[in-house]
Chains A and B, each alone.
Chain A
Amino acid sequence: MGKAFQFYPEAASSFAGQIDNLYFFLVALTTVMTLGIVAVALFFFVKYRRRSDDECPEEIEGNIMFEITWSVIPLVVCLGIFFWGTNIYMGMVQAPPDSVPVYVVAKQWMWKLQHPNGRSEINELHVPLGQNTRIIMASEDVLHSFYVPAFRTKMDVVPGKYTSLWFRPTKIGTYRLFCAEYCGTSHAGMNGWVHVLSEADYAAWLSGNVANESMEEAGERLFTENKCNTCHAATGNTQLGPSLNGVYGKSVTLKNGRTVTVDDAYIRESIFQPLAKVVAGFNPVMPTYETQLNEQQIMQIISYIKTLKPVDGQEGGHE
């Protein structure tokens, strides 16, 4: 860190360049407009200073052309900035399909991160250069916000739901990770580092300290330990609960006739509040697992459910 002073943060993601272009355009606009208006005001201030006490300037009512000019030009400039920014933002919202997920649980005052192969980290994140990486986040307590200034990206972590962001690192290096949403006493201490590694370094790091089990394996273990398989048997339909084979990403019909897509949020809700959206044809009998399972375990179970392939002749859901 030896830098004593800097005006410009490191730029290390595919968004950084686009956002910085707009940012510096706005800096230029702000500077020019502020200095311009202040210069005009100061010029008038001096030029039209009162020279004698009985001076009485000529009345000027106003001028409709001026009013229209200085309403329409700012409006057009504002709309231009709006479209420019919204256009960039649209590229930031949807993660590319090939993104590699990293699951993050935020809690007072630490970041717990887990890679699909089971490798987990605390307050550190290792990612390979050039890899589209999607961060899927849940909070165990209050609001937090995942912020990597060098990537120009940030997203709130909201208890009770999943939020996500994605980025593609473009520069090898070590960058700051901050919690940006005030979360209590040690808010300032809830930070860490993101390490962008070369492909080879990343592979070495990933295999360096392999966990005993991958996220899917941990999920399968939890699935059995918590007796989920009693009703959601992986081998077939038990009539008690819907089969989960091949269900991920499909849509299912609910008791009330609506349909819902089986995604991370729906699975999480169905484990914590099973009666909220019951699949048609099944009784509302499942108990909540709110006290038995934490956010990280839910993520592991979701990873496991994703691996379940459809079994022939069995209804899972429909496209």
Chain B
Amino acid sequence: MSNDTSSPKVNYLNNDYSIKSWLLTVDHKRIAILYLIAISFFFLVGGLMAVLFRFELATPQGDLVSAETYNKLFTMHGMVMVFFFLIPSVPAVLGNFLLPLMIGAKDVAFPRLNLASWYIYMLGGTLTIFAAISGGIDTGWTFYTPYSSTYANTAVVTAGIAVFITGFSSILTGLNFLVTIHKLRAPGLTWSRLPLFVWAHYATSIIMLLGTPVLAITVALLAVERGLGFGIFDPNLGGDPVLFQHLFWFYSHPAVYIMILPSMGVISEIVAAFCRKRVFGYTFVAASSLAIAVIGFFVWGHHLFLSSQSVFAGMVFSFLSYIVAVPSAIKVFNWTATMFRGSISWETPMLYVLGFIGLFSIGGLTGLFLANLAVDVHLHDTYFVVAHFHYVMVGGVIMGYMGGLHYYWPKITGRMYNEFWAKISFLLIFVGFNLTFLPQFVLGQLGMPRRYYFYDAEWQTLNVLSSAGASVLGIGYLLPVIYFLYSLKNGKIASQNPWGAKGLEWEVADTPPDPHNFHEIPVVTEEAYAYAKEAH
């Protein structure tokens, strides 16, 4: 079965080299690569903006850029990173590539729709870049009214339309995944045998499908108020600005779970493969994904504790926010328990698992501060919040996404990456991340509000630390671009299953996979991660 030689064979990469075969492909694997390229581009754009405003914040005075430019930079950074990197990264790249391979299908349920999703994403992305060039947008990525609907003089409607359009990419991907998981599982692949990556994407797809339309409606209402003067959110027109916050967070809080759940799915796969063990408490890890998806829809009001929302509503939302913390804790404990008596291999993907556990623990536990009615009064809208959501969303997604890219790189490209540089890159990212965001917790507790162009001199030391961390982080992100690209031509040829991992994608599919994934439909006869059963 194993095929270690570079025998000439047809795979999804070499079956056709034309540009047209890429741009019109309906192969989920090629679409994943289209996403990988596009998402990397947007990550670079969003990252450069962060580097610029971190340089600005290295001194207390506003000196490097103007206040208007600073406001546009943090707005565009948030918008690009949230809608064009964090939300699509794991599902659109790794999810697209792996779901059909993991469940033994030839492709997703609707291959053309899958390609359409990518084009919709690109259209939304292009419009965002256009909005950035044609004046930018300075409302904050949260678009709070009535500033966004009445007072801002920037390209709010263009950016709003971009978000509106991109949302459909997400909706269609969610729909595609749901149908794929329901209808295209290979014979014998029952629900209780599904890899946890598939469970995580199932839960994510539910949120995408149910939540994203609300974002589209919200942005549409904003555009109607701004463009046509219909009073919806602006009190001068008879509207209610707090209504906007409810609608916005009804999507945007669950969106955090759209980002983090797929990443958790990746972590489950890696931890099993690199410990050569079934994930401890499989059922609990799978069920906690669904629990997070469901409860996650009922906690949005914890963003509105100080918005003049009623005190009783605040209590309910605080309570539910504490409940949603529990399934996340269950996952972390189970991954750690999986390592117990495992056979742990020290390659880069496993380092990202450790990184995930560290960053996500800090991110999750600092959420307990902000879910608290009393403590949030002090910390709300300060740098503490900025640090918290970067740990959860960015820390969580980056660790899962990078871990997954390294783990699946041989499957995707047929080549091995350079292990030494990958480990250096991991270290830089991990250290840089903590250096960037740990000081921001302290800044928040000291009272530094977020979105400030200049600040009190006594906060400079902590800001300089944070800016220095961002530079380290930037180098950590650039290294993989180099060694991944280098590996495409010069990397060691990957064997079919270089990690010795279980799963249809490693054991049955070729590396890189055949254009149609499998030569014949695989039949599944065992549970996921049945490492022990194979041995003797």
Contact = CB atoms under 8 A, between A and B. Distances in A.
Given A48-B275, A62-B282, A142-B147, A57 B341 contact: yes
A88 B374 CA distance: 6
B382 A70 contact: no
Given A26-B375, A33-B365, A143-B241, A3 B458 contact: yes
Contact of B449 (A40, A84, A161, A180): A180
B269 interface: no
A205 interface: no
B242 A182 contact: no
A78 B378 contact: no
Interface stretch (A152-160, A195-203, A240-248, A301-309): A152-160
Contacts of A18: 374
Contacts of A181: 144, 381
Interface string B327-350: 001101110110111111110001
Interface in A148-170: 149-150, 152-156, 158-161, 163
Nearest to A179: B449
A62 B344 CA distance: 18
A145 B235 CA distance: 17
A1 interface: yes
Contacts of B334: 62, 67
A143 B147 contact: yes
A33 B361 contact: yes
Interface in B118-135: none
Contacts of A155: 306, 308
Contacts of B68: 185
A204 B105 CA distance: 82
A192 to B, nearest CB: 12
Interface string A85-113: 11111001100000000000000100000
B378 A74 contact: no
Interface in B354-383: 354, 357-358, 361-362, 365-366, 368-369, 371-375, 377-378, 380-382
Interface string A55-70: 1111111110011001
Interface in A4-45: 4-9, 15, 18-19, 22-23, 26, 29-30, 33-34, 37-38, 40-42, 44-45
A184 B152 contact: yes
Contacts of A40: 336
B319 interface: yes
Contacts of A143: 144, 146-147, 241
A6 B446 contact: yes
A280 to B, nearest CB: 24
A48 B322 contact: no
A145 B376 CA distance: 13
Contacts of A48: 275, 339-344
Given A49-B346, A60-B341, A179-B449, A34 B365 contact: yes
Identify whether the interface residues of B are mostly helix, strand, loop, or mixed: helix
Contacts of A235: none
Contacts of A66: 281, 333, 337
Interface string B55-72: 000000010000110010
A174 to B, nearest CB: 13
Contact of A56 (B373, B462, B535): B535
A160 B330 contact: no
Q: Chain B, interface size: which category? A: 35 or more
A122 B518 CA distance: 73
Identify whether the interface residues of A are mostly helix, strand, loop, or mixed: mixed
Nearest to A1: B458
B107 interface: no
B377 A34 contact: no
A17 B345 CA distance: 48
Contact of B447 (A74, A82, A147, A183): A147
Given A82-B372, A145-B381, A67 B362 contact: no
A50 interface: yes
Interface in B289-339: 306-308, 311, 314-315, 318-319, 322-323, 325-326, 329-330, 332-334, 336-337, 339
B406 interface: no
The CB with the most chain B CB atoms within 10 A, among A9, A70, A155, A161, is that of A70
Contact of A86 (B281, B283, B374, B447): B374
B455 A188 contact: yes
B532 A86 contact: no
Given A1-B456, A82-B319, A180-B382, A22 B336 contact: no
Contacts of B458: 1, 3-6
A57 B531 contact: yes
B264 to A, nearest CB: 15
A187 interface: yes
A67 B284 contact: yes
A210 interface: no
A75 B456 CA distance: 39
What are the 6 tightest A-B residue pairs by CB atom distance, in nearest-first order?
A149-B447, A160-B235, A59-B532, A85-B372, A56-B535, A89-B373
Interface of A: 1, 3-9, 15, 18-19, 22-23, 26, 29-30, 33-34, 37-38, 40-42, 44-45, 48-51, 55-63, 66-67, 70-71, 74-75, 78-79, 81-82, 84-89, 92-93, 108, 141-143, 145, 147, 149-150, 152-156, 158-161, 163, 176, 178-189
Given A38-B354, A60-B341, A185-B138, 11 more contacts: A1-B456, A8-B445, A37-B357, A45-B346, A48-B275, A49-B344, A57-B341, A86-B373, A143-B146, A154-B381, A183-B147
